[in-house]
A and B are shown apart, each in its own frame.
Chain A
Amino acid sequence: MSLAAALEIGKSGLKIYQVATEVVSENIANVNTPGYSRQRVVLETAPPSTANGFPLGTGVRIATVERYYDALLQKQLVNAETTSGFNSAKASVLQQIEPVFNEIAQDGLGSAISDFFNSWQDLTLNPTGAAERQAVLDRGQILTDQFHYVSSALSNASKIQEESIDPQVSDINQMIKNVSILNGYIRNTELSSGNANEMRDQRDFLIRQLSQQVGVGFEENADGQVDVYITDNSLPRPGTAGPDDPRFYVVKGTQYGSLTTTAAAPRDVSVKDYLGNSSNTMDPKSATPFFSQDTSGGKLWATLKMRDVVIPDYQQKVDELAYSIADATNTQQNAGFDLTNLLAPHAGDDFFSFTVAPTPPGGAATYIKLNLTATNQIAAASAAAVGPPFATGNGDNALSVAKLSKSNIMSAGASTFNGYYNGLVAQVGLDVQTANKVVGQDSAFMKQLVTLRDSNSGVSLDEELTDLIKYQRSYQASAKLITTAGEMMDTVINMIR
């Protein structure tokens, strides 16, 4: 053992603490980088030598630069992101729809229905009055306008979902591709030298983002690559060419598949795995849904579900209401007699008609229109008035129409028109409320998970600064060691002179 060895140890100290400072600076620089996991140099003693007659280490060296990382937390985060992706997308769409049904704050369809039937009530007081008859026509017009408004608001909401599918899918495909590229980098880097910590962080973060968009599963291979799959639970399993396993691997090492959509609206989405096998279509209406639970489907599933199930369900109810009101009013109007011919009383024509014939009740709210054009076409008189002479002042049929609003016509004779609509208002309210509550829970859960992750992997500036000082002092000490060893050498050399 020579003085040179002391110099060597000093030098290794200088070098190592410089690296340690670099790691600290990397941590500090990335304090706000999303998905970054803090890193630590793990120091160990260099192999000992026995030159002194006893084993003594030859300084310090870096065992590894490790990152603080919890694989289980990552799994939980991925699941939570998927749930939150689904719920928040659903809540935001529902919140957009809610104002249409906000009967509390402003008069909408519900009050248009009341007003329409009340105008018939007014007509019973003066069955021949031009003003009363005009009011019935006007209220009828307002009612059809309200139906059009609600129905177009719903179909717009549905259209927005449809239009957002393509951007979502291409976003997802980009992320899938990026995961496979990162897989390649990570394997290559780790084959040649240690851990590709930063790239792993990036990949983890990417998978988290991906899982928010669509529900995915992932597993890490021995070579550090991650395989990502989407599970197709729908039955029957696609064709004989497809795999029996419901897992469709969209990333397998550096190979990747994609999500495909059909060209024409309504777009169907399906998964094509890295081998080119196609899954079933993601169909929320199916009895065996693609995703076993809604919340495991992510944002894309929420979009599809809104487009195919939730909005059409509201639409269907509004259609049913429009169809029933039109049907009941028409039937009663046909039973009465209008004022178009005072000599030979003419039975009333349909009050409402449809620009496009609905397949009952589909499309009724969209296509409903006023069929009558003149006030004398309103059939206020009942059959009892036919005479002769024709009792034009008879308002019994108008009274019958007005009474329709109190009859239990909707829901197979269980509720009135207004009752049915009010039920729909309450249902929308409940849906929005539930969705909002769930989003609140999700964000609390996510916050908890992110806090846990941050607690483990996040950068603490105070900690880094403490380390920085520690390493700085160590660096100074190593430098002092070198100067001391240098001075000792000087002493030796001076002895020789």
Chain B
Amino acid sequence: MKRLLTRHETILGLTLIGVVVVLGIAAPRFFSAGHLFNLARSSTVIGIMALGLLTVLIAGGIDVSVSATAVGSMYVAAVILQALDYQGPIVLAFAIGAALGTLLGLVNGFLVSRLKLPTLIVTLGTLTLYRGALLFFVGTNRINDLPAQMDEFAQSSLLTLTTATGTRASVSWAVPIFVGLAVLLAVALRYTEWGRAVYAVGGSPESARRHGVPLARVRLSVFALAGALAGIAGVTDAALIRTADPFTLVGTELDVLAAVVLGGASIAGGRGTVVGTVLGVLLITVVSGSLILVGIPSAWQQLFIGLFLLLGIAIPALRRQRAERARGVVGA
């Protein structure tokens, strides 16, 4: 029981509830279906990217190029579909986006696993490289005439409520996609051999290697997965705003990383859960999407995300240090 109470996810969940209660008391409009559904919608794009980044972090790496991968895959997919004058099911857009994302992820994975380069600096490099290549070689124009199916899909919703005031609020189809991917990843990480290998590679590469885990292949796979999920996130974003904008999502890699680290994943590898990441994503979306409701200008958004991130790093680190001191570990 005590263990359950002191788990990172539990603390995070309680914090989220606390924040929601405070926001709800300060601004009753917070609990309107419209606002809650909007929050759910805006958490999906960051959330899908966060699932990929979580996997990379567990394996002991970092990927800050997810936002550029998302935009690159989405925009190129839109260009291809436009050139083909495609009007079929939207699944193809997701498939192309995911495939292109996988390709870009594999480039990251190759550089990290084969050339043994530091992952932060490599992915900072590819972040700029992918963005520069997209804007210089592919184009800078917004594509507004997306396939009709994509447009329809954006307007379709899972559930529509008509509130007392007559406004309509709907749960976007993007929410179940995010939830589905999260459940899939959680199962894969927990119950498959691949999932255990990912934790092993991040936790202790040397002992993983001695147990016959193919380090390079596992590292390649997590970057490919992060790329594929980023591609899906990019197409989701384009479908939600009904535009393929090559300048969108700039800087979101920081929010994504903040959410995952806040969710308890360690950049040193071997730690992190899907539940924690989803809670981290929700906390960040709720705070940054609701400040304006309680009268704090949205300009302060980043300050709060930064503070949350630092607290998310400091609290587990201090608890770990205290635990080590209690066990009598001397030194750093």
Q: Do A and B come from one complex?
A: no
Task: List residues of A whose CB falls within 8 A of some B CB.
Answer: none
Task: List residues of B whose CB falls within 8 A of some A CB.
Answer: none
